[in-house]
Amino acid sequence: VRTQATGQGGGVFGLNFTGQGQINQVNVSTGVVETRINNILRQNFPLSVYVVDKVLLPEELFGTKTTPTGAPPPDADSPSSDEEHKSVGSRVKG
């Protein structure tokens, strides 16, 4: 499918379209984000404009989609959240 999205130097950002004919639904994916196509804003040859639920981030700029495996471990130098809360309310008397 040809789109208006072009990269630097004229490169084209890839879009993947999948459909489920039984429920009349079309999804679009960039490799980073997947969303469904909802409504047609404009359909006049040679241009059609559709509503999508999410911003389509191109894989060429943002890399591939990664699945979250949980929060990353805290840095050894950074205080834990308990220590932060204790130090916020403490006073120094001299």
Query: Is residue 30, in this structure, part of any structural domain at all?
Result: yes
Query: Is residue 83, in this structure, part of any structural domain at all?
Result: no
Helix, strand, or coil (residue 26): strand
Query: Is residue 15, in this structure, part of any structural domain at all?
Result: yes
Going residue by residue through the chain (94 aa), what tens digit of pLDDT does each one get? 566 665 556 667 778 889 987 888 899 888 888 999 988 999 999 888 889 989 888 877 777 766 555 556 666 565 555 554 444 444 555 4
Q: Which domain holds residue 8?
A: 1-64
Query: Is residue 69, in this structure, part of any structural domain at all?
Result: no
Q: How far apart are CA 88 and CA 14, in angstroms?
A: 49
Map tokens 């981030």 to a residue.
57
The whole-model pTM stands at 0.53
Structurally, the chain folds into a number of domains equal to 1
Query: Is residue 26, in this structure, part of any structural domain at all?
Result: yes
Query: Is residue 84, in this structure, part of any structural domain at all?
Result: no
Give tens-digit pLDDT for 40-57.
999 999 888 889 989 888
